[in-house]
Every structure is written in structure tokens, then in C-alpha cells.
Amino acid sequence: MNRTRPGEAVTSVHIADTAVPGAHVVTPEPHTDERGDFFEGLRTDHLEAATGRPFVPRQINYSTSRRNTLRGIHGVAIPPGQAKYVTCVRGALRDIVVDLRVGSPAFGTYATHVLDAASGRAVYVPEGVGHGFLTLTDDTCVCYVLSSVYVPGTQIDINPLDADLALPWGFTEPPLMSRKDATAPGVREAAAAGLLASWQEATRDAHSPVSRKALP
């Protein structure tokens, strides 16, 4: 952890790849003085350089949950498509992203990370990739920064307990779930019904990442 002098502004962030192509985990470096801590929660210039795609926030959502609440797996159909930047602003959770893009070389692959308010760690979820989490503390609050506004009828729901995905939630007791999530189809059923985006649709506008060294 860095200690800054009063009035000095120093910021940095580390963006790492995950097992899911195009999904990234973002870890800010906090800077501390006698007042407390400061870190950058989102830098779209750094994020776009890492992902090779534009990220223009269009909507911000928040959710609060009791401990052991399971939300997901959720995504958005293409069109309209939706990328999201997920941060835990209070409490802690186990976050999972899973590749739902039909034809992806990593279809069905997942990546899991612990997000908590103390670290400020975030996850970037690209279009076509599913997302869910299990809360580890009471009153956990999550912030979702979204690249598109909500469009009724476009949400994709995959059962988070799908045996084909076998996601490592690490339950210590049965989770709290919505009826909608508990009765959602598995990944095979969703793919067979044509509910999932293709790899080509989800990556249609991707371009080569810009070197982060070129950033100011």
C-alpha cells in the first residue's frame, strides 16, 4: 500500500485477464494518508485499452442482499447486448463469470473471484458472458455499471446450479434464490433454444488492445 503526502494525487490500477476471454478482474491500488484511503473505482481509458472495446456507461444499478444470497447467472441478449463493470461497495461476495457465447473456444469456462469493499476489486463482464455471485456477508451491496439501459424481455437467465456448468459456489448451507433463478434453464437447454449469443455476435466490434504503456 502506498502512502501519499497531503494533497498529492497518485493513482494506479491493475487489470488482469481471466479464464473467460474478454473478462477481466480490476484491482485498484489504494493510497493512504492520515485521513484514510483513496482509490480509483473505474478508469474507462485503462479499461478500454485492456479490453480493446469501448465502454460508455449508460445505467448504474445497485443491489443489497442478505448473506448466502445467490444471484445469477444473468446476461443480456444481443441485440442490444450489455457489458457490465461490477464492484462490491459493502460487504463481500464470491463472483463468477461464465462464457455463454456459442462457438467460443472457452464456452462453459468460468472464472471466480472474491470481491469486497475493502479491496475495491471489480470484474468487467463483456457482452455474451454470464454473471452471478454468492454473498458472504449480510447487507452486501453491489454496484453494476452498465453499457446499455434496461430493455424488457432481453435478459438471459441460466440456472446457477446447472450440473453441466458445475460452478464452484462453495456453499455451506442452501442459498437464498429467487424463483426465477431457481427455475431458469441450464446452459444446454438455453443453447438448444437459441437463447444464447454466438461468439461472432458478442465479439463483432472488437479491435486489438492498445498498449497500456501509451496511456498517460
Q: Give the end-to-end CA distance of the chain in Å, rounded to a whole number.
A: 22
Report how far apart, in Å, the C-alpha atoms of 114 and of each of 16, 86, 99, 109, 154 are: 14, 12, 18, 17, 28
Q: Please, is 118 exposed, middle or buried when counting C-beta atoms within 10 Å of its C-beta (0-12, 13-18, 19+)? A: exposed
Q: At 165, phi and psi to the nearest 5?
A: -80, -35
Phi, psi of 48, deg, nearest 5? -65, -35
From 85, 98, 95, 91, select the one nearest 13 (Cα to Cα): 85
Sign of CA dihedral 181, 139, 114, 3: positive
144 is catalytic: yes
Report residue 47 as a C-alpha cell: 479499461
Report residue 214 as a C-alpha cell.
501509451
74 is a catalytic site residue? yes
Question: Cα separation of 105 and 108, whole Å?
Answer: 9
Among the listed residues 24, 31, 46, 74, the single catalytic one is 74
**Grid cell at residue 4:** 501519499
Catalytic annotation, residues: 74, 144
